[in-house]
Amino acid sequence: MDKQNLEYITFGGGCFWCVDSVLDLLKGVESTTSGYAGGHKENPTYEEVCTGDTGHAEVVQMTYDPQIISYEQLMDVFFFLHDPTQLNRQGEDIGTQYRSVIFYKDDAEKAKAEEAMKISEASGKYSTKYVTEITKLEKFWPAEQYHQGYYEANPTQPFCSAVVGPKVAKFKKHYGELGMLKPE
């Protein structure tokens, strides 16, 4: 990849272990970092974010090559990975830290995020209105090192085997059929 043309995107769709575990599989994705954004606490810790008091969401920031994978394709992936109609939760994970959120860098990216959400919502995949926030990215805080690549390092951990593993399998099947995955 041409490192000079790389872009980044930051979004949250529930537990970052679930989101981060698949994004690196996509062609055009250079790297992913689990972290926190959207809150008021400087340099938050996982334990602080889990209380729901920091205002932060668990997010993944991804660096990608837009000549290989487009912002619009990444938005399709985002809406595939979670249920954007669940307010402040994903499955059994409940709290504002698990909210559905897209962070944008500038007005042009905000417009693309709004359009992507409108298209996804119009698809009829979900019967209720989306609650995804579209918010300006003020600051991204990387999560602690043990959260980076958590699923890959801990596939037999109970949450990973029960929740993350099936999501990874579903993701690989869908995006593999579309030819969007890196060769293994």
Residues 6+ apart with CB under 8 A from 69: 26, 27, 28, 29, 180
Q: Write down the H helix ranges in 63-149.
A: 71-81, 107-122
In angstroms, the CA 90 to CA 124 distance is: 19
In angstroms, the CA 175 to CA 184 distance is: 13
In angstroms, the CA 63 to CA 10 distance is: 9
Confirm whether 15 is a catalytic residue: yes
- Please give the C-alpha separations between residue 124 and each of 57, 121, 128, 175, in angstroms, as whole numbers: 26, 6, 9, 20
In angstroms, the CA 157 to CA 153 distance is: 9
Residue 176 corresponds to which tokens in the numbers above? 């593999």
Single out the catalytic residue among 15, 18, 50, 160: 15
Residue 165 corresponds to which tokens in the numbers above? 């593993």
- Residues annotated as catalytic are 15
